[in-house]
Amino acid sequence: MFKKLIAESAAKSPWLFHINAGSCNGCDIELVSVLTPRYDAERLGFKLAGSPRHADIVVVTGPVTTQSLPRVLRAISQVPEPRCIVTMGSCPQSGNVFRGSYSVAGPLSKYVHVDVDVAGCAPKPEAVIDGLALATKILKEKRGR
């Protein structure tokens, strides 16, 4: 019974940890807008956590520059299992306009398993919520296993 309860809860209480991997700040603002009264992701239980130890979903924005890469990986590794990694915007997915730059180490999927990609420059809040909702489903599956 508790296992089921925990699995159910895992989908209902996903806490986010946001990592900026060299983003232009566009996606960062959009992520915060998801929590504003208009979109109110908290009604689904989303909450921004201050420390990766508390997080379930890691949201990475930015093209993953060479400077940020080891820090991003370290922070991601510090998130306890089960966890989900969501890239937000086109940058961490493909490098976007920064692709091929000497200072860009991305895409992120080269280094860690990415669960959900939310494309867009910047993605609309609706798309972000959709991506996060998908991530919660994955979380529940991971928990159920």
Partner 1 sequence: MSMLSYQHFPIYAIMSLFLGAFLVVMLGKNRAVRNALAFISVSASLGFLLALVKRVMIDGEVIAYWMGGRVPAGGYAIGIALEVDALSLFFGLLIAVAVFVSCVYSFSYMSHDDNVREYYTLFLMLAGGVMGLVLSGDLFNMFIMVEILTFAAVALTAFRNTAAGALEAAFKYLVVGCMGSTCILVGTVMLYAQAHTLNFAQLSALIAGDMNTATKVAFALLFIGFSTKAFIVPFHPLAADAHGAAPASISVLISGVLTKSGLYGIIRLTYFLFQSMGLGSMQFLLVFVGSLSMFICVTMALAQHDFKRLLAFHSISQIGYVLTAAGLCTAMGISAGLYHAMNHTIFKGLLFLAAGAVLHQTGTTDLGRLGGLSKRMPHTTVLFLIGAFSISGIPPFNGFASKWMIYQATYMKAVESGNIGFLLVTIIALVTSVLTLASFVKVSQSVFFGRLPAEFENVKEVPFGMRFAMGIFALLCVVTGLFPNLVTNYLTKPAAAAVFSVGNYIDSMMGAGYAESVMAAPPAAPVITYTELGCWDPVSWLLILAIALLAVTIVALAGKYDRVSLRPAATDAKHDLFFGGEESVYSQVGGGDLFWGFKHNWRHYFGFMHDLHSGIVNDYALWALVALALALLFSLIVL
Partner 2 sequence: MSIILSALQYLGYILIFPGFLFCFLGGMLLCGIDRKIVAKMQKRVGPPVLQPFYDFFKLCGKETIVPAAAAKTTFLMAPLVGLAALVVIQLFIPVFHFSAFSGMADIIVILYLLLIPALSIIIGGAASGSPYAGVGLSREMVTVIACELPLVLVLLAVAKTVGSALGTGLCFSLTEIAAYQAANGSLILRASMIPAALAFLLVIPGETGNHPFDAAEAETEICEGMLAEYSGPPLAVYKLSHAIKMLTLTSLFVALFLGGIGGKIVNILALLGLTGGAAGALGVLLGAVVLFLLCALITIVCISLVHAATARLKIEQIFKYYWTVVSALALMSLVLAWYGL
Choices 6-14, 88-96, 98-106, 112-120; region in contact with partner 2 by CB under 8 A: 6-14
- Judged on CB neighbours under 10 Å (0-12, 13-18, 19+), 50 is exposed
d(CA 116, CA 93): 10
String marking each residue 61-80 x if it binds partner 2 according to CB under 8 A: -----------------x-x
Coil, strand or helix at 58: strand
Strand partners, 65: 104
Query: In angstroms, what is the minimal distance from the CB of 37 to partner 1?
Result: 29
Supply the minimum distance, in Å, between the C-beta of residue 55 and partner 2: 9
CA atoms within 13 A on the CB side of 59: 31
Interface with partner 1 includes 2 (CB under 8 A)? yes
Footprint on this chain of partner 1 (rule: CB under 8 A)? 2, 19, 51-53, 68, 70-75, 77-78, 80
